[in-house]
Structure 1
Amino acid sequence: MQIGFAVPQYGVFADPDFIRQAAVDLEAMGYHSLWAGDRVLVPLEPSDRYPGGDGEIPSAFRTFFDPLAALTLAAVGTRDVRLGTSALNALWQPPVVLARALASLDLLSHGRLDVGIGLGWLRDEYAAAGVPWRGRGQRLEETLDLMEAAWSEKVVEHDGPLWRVPPSHVDLKPFQHPRPPILLAGFTPAALERVGRRADGWLGAAMPPAYLTSLWEVALRAAERAGRDPSALRMVVRVNPEITRAPAPAERVPRAGTVRQIGDYVLSLAELGAHETFVDVQPTASSREEFLDVAHDLVEVLRAG
């Protein structure tokens, strides 16, 4: 199982110099991948509760560096580490514009990009972006169709319910052929069915083992029905822990725990079928020094097994 870390990006870590230097440091520590998320605002009176913790949106989200800009900074100073979005809210941008931005980042990084896409959970962000909340699944399907065409077709042409592209040359293609890997987030049967039917993998999150494996089985069965190889799908699991000094009660892990406890949980995910796990400590780390110390200590714990 591969191990990644969230690139510094929000709250006190939303600083371009630190993003670039931390990416270099994280690669030197031995992390396989760096991941960036996507938020645009924190409403004073949110339309929806945050899907983690106590339901309150973390205050660190008020300052959020653009995910593709953060990964560009990470790419400039690194050589081998993979760069992923978890998850990019792809519906906030026209597909042809987003396809160009992602192809550019894949070229800049010499083929190190994993495109992780989600639908988000906050209706206020859709309203601010001018995108309808309803019909998100259909919008995502057409977005994927159009991006894949832009990345692989010699002449791009599209006439769908939401977008029309006349026969056109779009010659900027990604470094990876035929395209960067696409990973889809989501926790409903429809979302996991879409993963199996047309994605390269699933962006999951820390949850009870039985629930995690049951969702993964939905994706695997959908891949079989679509005539695809289920064994080719990747499961990538995000862990957002509160790092504590004293051991946390077992029932609080992985929401909270010492570096040792979180490391043990991460290792246990391999037994559940996870191919990759990454950890994000930005909501609870109070300083740049703590951010890097936790990253260092965690990778040492994982190496020790």
Structure 2
Amino acid sequence: MSLEPIPIAALAADISRQNALKEHRVAPVRRLPWEMLAAICKAAIQDDPFFILTLAHVCGSFRHAVLVSPRLWGTFSINLTNRNLKELVDLFLRRSGSIPLNVTILRAVTPCQTPLSHLKANLDLMPNLRSLFCIRWHISMEDLHDPNIHMPFLKNLTVVDQSFGASGLSVLGSLTTPQLQRLTLRSLFNVEFWSDDSHADNDIEYQTALAEVGGTVRNFLWRSGWPRLVELELHGCEMLSEDLVYILRRGDLIESLSLAGRLQDKTFRHLASRPHAKRRPPAEAQNDQEAYRSQKHAYLQ
């Protein structure tokens, strides 16, 4: 019985070829351009901006796409009960670079004794802020007299005060926003607090409360140089009719107006006599309107 010699050279060459193929084998995801991976990440973080932290650890390709895409870090929310608040804010500020930011400030309904001086200091470090959502933002007493926060590029501001207290008014009293285009104010005044609605108009305390709301909103807009608002929403933000009419008279570019609450006859007479708003160019009007509305709707739910 004869034994054929083993082709050692051929076998070694085949093994070397298989090893070379294995070493140069590339996963499908690594063949995708980073722009496509960034688009996938953008869609994945729509409901949870912090999911970007998870995507950055999927693989090297995703990590590269995340780190070279500052816009993926331009939207985040701040929960005042989070112990790592400052670290998260600093991380997103660093990764987002100089792009406009969309920030939501949230607070739990239950009272929290955490002082907000550090948060206001962080806001002061965000001059490129574009959108700010203040939901149940509690302002501590030591923060009420702090210097104003100047946000020269802020275009969208939403303030919701579920407690109908002074917090929402304190937010307006702290900000200066010369480039503001869309303003939403909700629950800054609770008319249901006044049990005898029939005599409310003659109640000095009631009239003083209305004057405080109207005066705060007017001072905020005056301090901001009466920005060219194109969208105004006032729900549960009742004020003296003189203040509301004055605000509407200055808003000659308002294209979308939403009022809800106890409105007086003077307001309706002004709206009936108000000329049509001056329209902006379509390209400018639709720049980020739909994105802002969908984002605001999600946060107000």
TM-score (norm. length: structure 1): 0.34
Of the two structures, which has the highest relative contact order with CA contacts closer than 8 Å and spacing of 6 or more? 1
TM-score (structure 2 length as normaliser): 0.35
